[in-house]
Amino acid sequence: MEKTKNVIIIIEFVFVLIVMLVANIVKLDDAVSVTERRKLAQFPAFTKNSVFSGKFASDFDKYAVDQFVRRDSFKEIKYWFSMNIFNQKDSNKMFVKDGSIYKLEYPLNENAVKKSAEKLQTVQEKYLKNANVYYSIIPDKTYYLDDNYLKMDYEKIEEIMAEKLQDTKYIDIKNILTKDDFYNTDLHWKQENIIKVVNILNTNMGIVSQTNYEEKIAGEFYGTYYGQVGAKVNADTIKYLTNSNIENAITYNYETNQYSKVYDLEKFETSSDKYDIYLSGATPLITIENQNANTDKELLIFRDSFGSSIAPLLLENYKKVTLIDLRYMNGQLLESYIEFSNQDVLMLYSGTVLNQNILK
């Protein structure tokens, strides 16, 4: 029996090693990981320099991991093991609860929030002294879980923001959202669920508005969280709200110098991130012109990616909405592009972005 056991152990070990070795050699390398939305490491250049500097070795290690055969299945095994056998509450900060993927955004980095708030304060003091400035904070999904999960202290974020952004008005939207207002596979909110947020913003900004939208379905959507967790979760559906004002509106992207429509259905088909349907995705500066507007009012939105899906719904009462993403452009450069007059100003940021000190 002992001998049989020894033989079995050798066979299984050698089998796994040889099969994997051969499979990894035979398998064609992938250029990108669709689920993880990133380029995968390729076989490194084998040169005298790369070998003797150790770069070949470190690059090969990355290549070996990135191109490992059935990589996604192994990630699923890891997730299953850590959650079910080790009974961990998260795996690399990710976890699935009730069919929805969450990412721990804990802990709060007070320093980073202060820095983010200071950046906004600088913009406010430089350009917006006489403007009506409003700001709001979008909690991440974990905020809506029970207390068994770690979440950022949003009261503390509000406190820091209030300290820095004086002479502005805070619009609290935390409590009108629920976890169902966010996608299951992504960090963002669903456009079709945030009319209530638009209403609260409008009310606080002194706008009386009742707008009707038609809800359209763009298609299936696996968000950024999907590739970060080794678990199968049902796809989300991207829907978008539209009406004649939005249909006729024209966007201008300062980065690409291109005019486009509010909803970029072509990008939805071609982009790896389907959320790019809203205003064609991340960009430093974009304007939306409302061709049907019966007002001259303008709105400036300092925003992150959450702004892309809510901006079309704020368009109704403005002639022009300008979206500025301070993650991609320096606040000091704004005057070269924007003429500051007496626009309404909304600073709308997610807690996740404020917690990272990535505003320029």
Partner 1 sequence: MVFSSITFIFYFLPIVLAIYYMVPKKMQNLILLVASLLFYFYGEPKYVILMVFEIIVAYLFGRLIDKKHKKIFLIIPIAIIVGLLVYFKYIDFLIQNVNVIFEKDIDLVKVILPIGISFYTFQIISYIVDVYRGEVKVQKNILNLATYVALFPQLIAGPIVRYKTIDAQLDNRKHSIENVSIGIRRFVIGLGKKVLIANVLGELVNVFLASNERSVLFYWLYAFANMMQIYFDFSGYSDMAIGLVKMFGFEFPENFNYPYISSSITEFWRRWHISLGTWFRDYIYIPLGGNRVSKIKHLRNILIVWLLTGLWHGAAWNFIIWGLYFGILLILEKEFILKKVDKIPKIIRILATFFIVMISFIIFSGESKIEIFENIKGLFGIGGISLTSLESIYYLKSYAVVLIISLIGATPLMKNVFKDKKVSNFLEPVFILFVLIISTSYIIDGSFNPFLYFRF
Q: Which residues bind partner 1 (CB under 8 A)?
A: 1-10, 12-14, 16-18, 20-21, 24, 51-54, 57, 60-61, 64-65, 68, 71, 74-75, 77-79, 81-82, 85-92, 106-107, 110, 147-150, 230
Instruction: State in angstroms the smallest separation of the CB of 275 from partner 1.
Output: 24
Q: Is the Cβ–Cβ distance between 59 and 21 less than 8 Å? A: no
Residue with smaller CB distance to partner 1, 72 or 255: 72
Q: Could you give the CA distance from residue 67 to residue 65 in angstroms, rounded to a whole number?
A: 6
Instruction: State in angstroms the smallest separation of the CB of 252 from partner 1.
Output: 40
Instruction: State in angstroms the smallest separation of the CB of 307 from partner 1.
Output: 30
Residue with smaller CB distance to partner 1, 53 or 203: 53
Residue with smaller CB distance to partner 1, 145 or 195: 145
Instruction: State in angstroms the smallest separation of the CB of 331 from partner 1.
Output: 28
Q: Is the Cβ–Cβ distance between 236 and 222 less than 8 Å? A: yes
Residue with smaller CB distance to partner 1, 70 or 169: 70
Q: How many CB atoms lie within 10 A of CB 138?
A: 27
Q: Is the Cβ–Cβ distance between 322 and 311 less than 8 Å? A: no
Instruction: State in angstroms the smallest separation of the CB of 91 from partner 1.
Output: 8
Residue with smaller CB distance to partner 1, 89 or 129: 89
Q: 107: cis peptide before it, omega within 30°?
A: yes
In whole angstroms, how far apart are CA 61 and each of 38, 52, 53? 17, 15, 14
Q: Supply 72's token pair.
A: 């996604």
Short-list 203, 267, 259, CA closest to 240: 267
DSSP state, residue 278: B
